[in-house]
Structure formats: structure tokens, C-alpha cells
Chain A
Amino acid sequence: MKIMVAIKRVVDYAVKIRVKSDKTGVETNNVKMSMNPFCEIALEEALKIKESGFASEVVSVSMGPTQCVDTLRTSLAMGADRAIHVDTKEMLYPLSVAKLLKALVDVEKPGILILGKQAIDDDCNQTGQMVAGLLNWPQGTFASKVVLDKEKNVATVDREVDGGIETLSLDLPVVLTTDLRLNQPRYATLPNIMKAKSKVIKKFTPQDLNVEIRSDLEVVEVTEPPKRKAGVLVSSVDELIDKLKNEARVI
């Protein structure tokens, strides 16, 4: 069985972002870009499943401009067997990504598709659910534990939900999206980074996959959130309690 992992290139999680002065978006030129942290977890899970003998191959896929190849190269260095890049300069919303992923699933026929639960740039938390809907596959979102049963062809998934942990049993093929606590992603070692250079990254365009990129959303503007007014440092617990009582009136 094959596992497909979707990977997004985003502004590094530690970067303090800057909104462009013309309000068209967030500055991404000369900003450190990395693999979305949830995608790293997705890839790690796929690699673990392969190492357990359940899967034979891990294919990583990414969509977007040419630089996505760097992110895919990182995934190959972590241990993915090969990669697919869907090359497009167009703005991609989750609906388009889900359609492209569905088209790739139709080509590659994986038994498991793993994604991160959300990208840390658009914070949508949609793509996995959408591609599961398009494929009519069951979905195990916000997964914190995945146990696979080879004989029954079933995945038992623990999900992080509002009130605690929910456990589901899902028939394969399945779409999973990863929560932070699913695993601890590995680092790529230098030999593996070298090896990754000879691994194959196949290129597709949306046209090759017969997917029309159209959008029903329009970004009107991107602005900075309102700034909080400067706070004060208090010197003692008594002063803090006094301020909360008499100034802020919250206790």
C-alpha cells in the first residue's frame, strides 16, 4: 500500500510576520520559509507507518510555485520515497488544493492520505475534510493517535476534540489530518539530505490533472490587528490586586 502526504510551504512558524503597506497581503519576500509544522507531523506518521511494514511507499506532494520543490526535497530527506509537485503560480484556496489532491489520488491510488490539520499561514483547517468529502472516504481529523489493523483494513484514530479525546474506527482508504501530539518529527540527517538529491520529483500542472483553478473568494485587504495599549508593570501582589479591583474592575 502507498501513503500520500500533502505538504505546504509556509512562512516559518517562528517568524514575526509583517503586513504589506498596500494591504494586499503578508510580506513573504526574503522571509524564511519552511514546511508547515503540521505537515512535518503528517510526513513523520507516514514514515512510521511504512517502517511498521504496513505501507510500501511514501509519496509527498505539494502545490504552488517553483520553490515548493525545496520543501519537497526536505520531505525526501526525511524519508519520503518520491515526490510530486503541482506547479502553479495561481492563488490556491483549500477547495482547489482538495481537487488537485483528489486528482492525484486517482493517479496514485494510495490507501492513506495524510495532511496536517491546518496550515499556519491561512489557518483554514479545511483541506483534509474537503478532499475526504470529494473522495467519499472517511476522515480522521485532528488525529493524536493512529492504529492500523492490516487484517481488517481499518484505522483506529484518536481525535482531539473540544471535550477530550474521541476514538473512531475508519475503513481504509482513509484521509487523516494530524494534530500536534501525534508524533515528534525526525530531523533529516546529512547522508539522507545527500540521498534526497537523487530522488525523483515529478511535475504536474493543474491542466495535466484536468483541474480548473477558480476561486469563489476574493481577498479585499489584509491589515494588522488592533494594537493593545501599553500595559504597566506592578511591583507587588497588593498593587496587582488593587489595580484589578479598582482600575480594571474585573474582580
Chain B
Amino acid sequence: MATIPMLRAYKRRSTSTFRYLSTLILAEHEGGSLKAQTLNAIAAANYLGKESSISLLLAGSGPSLQEAAAHAASCHPSISKVLLAKSDKFTYPLAEPWAKLLQLVQKIGSYSHIISASGSFGKNILPRAAALLDVSPISDVIKISEPHLFVRPIYAGNALCTVRYVGSNPCMLSIRSTSFPMISMAADSKSNPAPIDEVDLSTIDEDGISKSRYIQQTTQESERPDLGNARVVITGGRALKSAENFKMVEQLAEKLGAAVGATRAAVDAGYVPNELQVGQTGKIVAPELYMAFGVSGAIQHLAGMRDSKVIVAVNKDADAPIFQVADYGLVGDLFEVIPELLEKMPEKK
């Protein structure tokens, strides 16, 4: 087989070309600090190798950007540089200017890797930038085995695909946040923060940028922890029957300090807003405790929660597929079980 030595030669060549690793992270910030997902992306970047240098790209406008940059510079010892793109063009997360920014920054910095978290921000921008750079991005990576070898779920998490990136720089990935937990560090734990450099935007390609305009965002304000990062998630399905009844789930969440999730059926029926949907097309969660009430356990829902540490299912139907993944199952009427839990569950820690 003549192809095998050729393949070996190719691999040797590729490892020597990529010996020096430099990673750029597309950072998200809000209210003067980095978002939790960006910290997960930093954790992922650390898997690429000890020799790798990590730069963080922050863009936006106003005083909160400067504050976020200061936070970024001192948030983790592995950060070697913070790049700052100050312009009104980046005030909102519009893919058109942000993708051009990534293209420009790559041209200047020639990074070996570009990483973002695979939230709606990264999913929107990274592939567009990848097309501009003529490389294939790799979505929703859950494991970094080697600098160019990754594992990602396919078919709603029912198969795991190991892919090797054999293209030219940069290797672009979005990472699944729940697979790369960030080791928490106090904000002031780093004595000498990384340098902050401003990106020279004078050569950015403006063509096409003004074709999109941000109008507004409607956000559901909630006191509860963020669904993506919560330690406990309590989810309700169609069996709750109404938005009124869904409040029982919310009360239980309140008591346990948990985030509330929902199935597609519950969202489509209007019990709760869309952003609470857990599943293949909604949020992917992996909390310590996941409690599903009146959730049948469709493939598409399991895709979003199967990596939870402990899964509890309460359902009237003993044959519901959710019981196949549950660590603890209780066959019963949730209208009796939830009130009893509300009464007997200990308060949150």
C-alpha cells in the first residue's frame, strides 16, 4: 500500500509546520467582564498544548469595553495578549463586521487556531469568517485530542465523530462550553496582567458591512441562574399542560436555586419562552443534577442533556424513553410529585 508512507510523510510535515501554536479566542463580554462561555473557550485553548500562546479578541465600544479588556488581561495566567477593536461597528453582535474583523486580525496575527464558544454569537460569526478565510470550521467540539484532532457529536449526540483538520491555518473551532469547565480564578490572582493592544482598523474591508443594522433585543429577565451554567436544571414538558402549571416547576427551581428548562413541546405550546428549550436545537446543558418532569425523552431532547451527571425523571408513562437515561426514575403523576417535592426537598445550599 503506497498510500500509507505518503500519509505518514504528510503527518510529519503537518506537525512540524504547526509546531508553534498561537490561538485567538473570539471573546464575548457584557457589562465590563467576560462572559462565562469565553472562560470555557480559554479552558479549551489550554488543551492545545503548553507551548501555545493565547490571545483574546474583544470588540465593541464604550467604557465597558475597556473594563472588559482589563478583566480579560488578568483573568487567567495563560492569556498572553488582549486585542481590542474599538469601533461603533462592533457595538452589536452583527456577523458582517465581526467576520471581517476576524479576517483582518488573522491577516495580522497568522494564528494557528481561532476558537469561539458555540453559543448563538459564535455560531453566527465563526463560519462566516471561516468562509472568508477559506477554511472549514469545526462546530461544537467536545474534546481536543491533539492540536488538529477533535471529537464532536453528530446525529443529535447519538454518535461521536473524530475529525482531523488537515487544511491550512487557521484551524477554526467552536467549543461546547459544558465540555470544558473553567477552573475558577480570582480576578486579582494574576500579578502582571497581559498587555492590551489596540487593533489598527484602518485597513478593514468595509464593503458590505453597512447592509445589516441592529434594531433591538428582547430579553427575558430572570433571577435564576443561567441555563447553560446552572448546577441544577429543572425541566418541564408537555405534560405540565399549561403555563399556569409550569409555575410549579419554577417554584421548585426557586427552592433549589436551579435554572428552568423546557422541551420543544412545552415551548411550542407557549408555556415558556424559546430560550429555555433544551435539546439538539436549543441549549445544551450538563448540570450536576437534571430533573425532568413530564418529559418523554425524544432523541432531540436527550441530545441537550445526556451529559448531565445525575438525571432524575418523573413521568406517568413507565415506558417513556427518558427512563432509559435516568439515574433515578419515579413513575407517578407530576401534579402529585412536584408539590410533595416542594414540601420535602431541602432548601438550596
Contact = CB atoms under 8 A, between A and B. Distances in A.
A241 B312 CA distance: 11
Nearest to A125: B123
A95 B130 contact: yes
Contacts of B202: none
Interface in B116-172: 119-121, 123-132, 134-140, 149, 152-168
28 contacts: A16-B299, A17-B158, A94-B127, A95-B136, A120-B155, A123-B152, A125-B123, A125-B127, A129-B127, A129-B131, A138-B211, A144-B274, A164-B217, A168-B94, A169-B213, A181-B267, A217-B163, A222-B161, A225-B158, A225-B160, A232-B327, A232-B329, A233-B330, A243-B328, A250-B288, A250-B309, A251-B256, A251-B345
A164 B227 CA distance: 12
A15 to B, nearest CB: 9
Given A126-B137, A169-B212, A19 B159 contact: yes
Contacts of B155: 11, 17, 26, 120-121, 123
Given A138-B211, A139-B96, A222-B161, A164 B128 contact: no
Residue of B124, B126, B219, B283 most packed against chain A (CB within 10 A): B124
B323 interface: yes
**Sorted from nearest, which 9 A-B pairs have the closest CB atoms?**
A216-B167, A133-B131, A130-B131, A129-B127, A126-B127, A133-B128, A138-B212, A161-B120, A164-B219
Interface residues of B, number: 90
Contact of B162 (A220, A236, A237): A220
Contact of A137 (B136, B140, B208, B326): B208
Interface in A128-181: 129-134, 136-139, 141-142, 144, 156, 159-171, 179-181
Contacts of B214: 166-168
A239 B301 CA distance: 26
Interface string A212-228: 00011111111111001
B232 interface: yes
Interface residues of A, number: 80
A95 B267 CA distance: 33
A124 B121 CA distance: 15
A251 to B, nearest CB: 6
B163 A220 contact: yes
Interface in B247-280: 256, 264, 267-268, 273-275, 280
Contacts of A26: 154-155, 159
B268 A181 contact: yes
A71 interface: no
Interface of B: 94-96, 99, 119-121, 123-132, 134-140, 149, 152-168, 207-208, 211-220, 228, 232, 256, 264, 267-268, 273-275, 280-281, 283, 288-289, 299-300, 306, 309-312, 318, 323, 325-331, 337, 340-341, 344-346
A107 interface: no
Contacts of A168: 94, 212-215
A208 interface: no
A190 interface: no
Contacts of A95: 130-131, 134-136
Contacts of A11: 155
A63 B285 CA distance: 33
Contact of B281 (A126, A180, A228, A238): A180
B289 A248 contact: yes
A138 B345 contact: no
A220 B218 CA distance: 42
B289 A251 contact: yes
Given A136-B207, A248-B289, A117 B281 contact: yes
A240 to B, nearest CB: 5
A93 interface: yes
Residue of B99, B153, B161, B208 most packed against chain A (CB within 10 A): B161
A129 B281 CA distance: 17
Given A124-B127, A137-B208, A237-B330, 20 more contacts: A16-B158, A131-B131, A133-B128, A138-B95, A138-B212, A141-B95, A156-B215, A161-B275, A163-B217, A163-B275, A164-B275, A166-B214, A221-B162, A222-B162, A228-B311, A233-B323, A237-B341, A244-B289, A248-B289, A250-B310
A240 B166 contact: no
Contacts of B158: 16-17, 224-225
Nearest to A243: B328
Given A95-B130, A231-B323, A241-B341, A162 B211 contact: no
Given A125-B139, A216-B136, A160 B275 contact: yes
A238 B310 CA distance: 17
B120 A142 contact: yes
A248 B328 CA distance: 10
Nearest to B164: A218
Contacts of A22: none
Nearest to B119: A162
Given A123-B154, A129-B128, A165-B217, A220 B280 contact: no
A71 B167 CA distance: 32
Nearest to B129: A133
A98 B136 CA distance: 11
A91 to B, nearest CB: 12
Contacts of A118: 281
A168 to B, nearest CB: 6
A92 to B, nearest CB: 11
